[in-house]
Amino acid sequence: MRNEARELACRLATAQTEDEVTEIMASHPLLCQAENWKPYGGKGPEHSGIIFSQQSHPVAALTEKLTNSIDAVLVRECLEAGIDPEGPQAPQTMAEAVERFFGMKGGDFSEVSAARRRQLAARILVIADGPRDHPNIAVVDDGEGQRPEDFENTLLSLVSGNKLKIPFVQGKYNMGGTGALPYCGDRNYQLVLSRRAPSLCNNAEGSQWGFTLVRRHFPEIGEKSSYYQYCVDSDGNIFEFPGEPLDILPKQAPPLGTGTYIKLYGYALPTTTVVTLDLWRELNRRLYAPALPITIWETRNYRGHSPSKLLLGNRIRTTVDERNNVEESIAMTAELGASGKRDIEVTIFKLDTRRDDYASPNEAVLFTVNGQTLAALSRSFLKTRCRLGYLAEYMLVHIDCTTAEPKVHELLFMASRDRMRESEHSRRIEEALAAELENHEELRALNELRREQQIAENPREKRFLENVVTRLLKRNKALSRYLRKGGKIKAGVEPGKRRVKKFKGQDVPTFLRLPGANGNGYKKEIPLNSFAVVRLETDACDEYLTRNRDKGKVIVEPDVCKSYHLWSGILTVKLTAPTCCPAGHITPVTIKLTRPDDEPLLVALQIQVTPVRQDDEPHRTRKGGNGKPRKPRAEDYELPAATLVYRERREGCRSWDEMVPPWDASVISKVVPLPGGAIDVLINMDSAPLHIFVRSRQFRQKRQQLVMRSYETSIYLHSLVLHNELIQYDIYDNVFQDAIRGVAKITLDLIHNDAFAEEFASED
Domains in the chain: ranges and CATH: 2-298 (3.30.565.10), 322-452 (3.30.230), 459-489+638-763 (no CATH), 512-610 (2.60.40.10)
Q: What's residue 730's pLDDT? A: 66
Q: What is the CA radius of gyration of the chain?
A: 31
Q: What's residue 204's pLDDT? A: 61
Q: By the 8 A CB rule, do 556 and 515 touch?
A: no
Q: By the 8 A CB rule, do 308 and 296 touch?
A: yes
Q: By the 8 A CB rule, do 392 and 446 touch?
A: no
The DSSP code sequence of 74-130 is: HHHHHHHTT--TTSTTS-SSHHHHHHHHH--GGG--TTS-HHHHHHHHTTEEEEEES
Q: What's residue 125's pLDDT? A: 97
Helix (H) or strand (E) holding 723: helix 701-726
Can you give the pTM of this predicted structure? 0.84
Q: What's residue 759's pLDDT? A: 58
Contacts of 640 (CB under 8 A, 6+ apart): 484, 489, 671, 678, 679, 680, 681, 720
Alpha-carbon span 707 to 700, nearest angstrom = 10
Residue 329 Cα to chain centre, angstroms: 16
Beta bridge partners of 681: 642, 671
Q: What's residue 620's pLDDT? A: 40
Q: What's residue 329's pLDDT? A: 87
Alpha-carbon span 136 to 17, nearest angstrom = 7
Neighbours of 370 (CB within 10 A): 22
Q: What's residue 518's pLDDT? A: 55
Q: What's residue 752's pLDDT? A: 43
Alpha-carbon span 125 to 11, nearest angstrom = 20
Nearest alpha-carbon partner for 736 in 668, 677, 664: 668
**pLDDT tens column, 188-231:** 999 999 999 999 988 766 689 999 999 999 888 777 788 899 99
Nearest alpha-carbon partner for 444 in 673, 660, 642: 673
Q: What's residue 355's pLDDT? A: 76
Q: What's residue 489's pLDDT? A: 35
Alpha-carbon span 375 to 629, nearest angstrom = 50
Tell me the three state secondary structure of residue 302. coil
Q: What's residue 178's pLDDT? A: 86
Low-confidence residues of the chain, pLDDT below 50?
488-499, 616-627, 629-635, 752-754
Q: What's residue 734's pLDDT? A: 77
**pLDDT tens column, 373-431:** 999 999 999 999 999 999 999 999 999 999 988 888 888 888 777 788 888 998 999 99
Neighbours of 271 (CB within 10 A): 12
Laid out side by side, the sheet with 554-557 consists of 523-527, 598-610, 586-595, 554-557
Helical residues (DSSP H) of 293-400, grouped into ranges = 314-316, 379-380
Alpha-carbon span 319 to 325, nearest angstrom = 10
Q: What's residue 624's pLDDT? A: 45
Buried b (16+ CB within 10 A) or exposed e, 321-336: ebeebbbbbbbbbbbb
Q: What's residue 314's pLDDT? A: 93
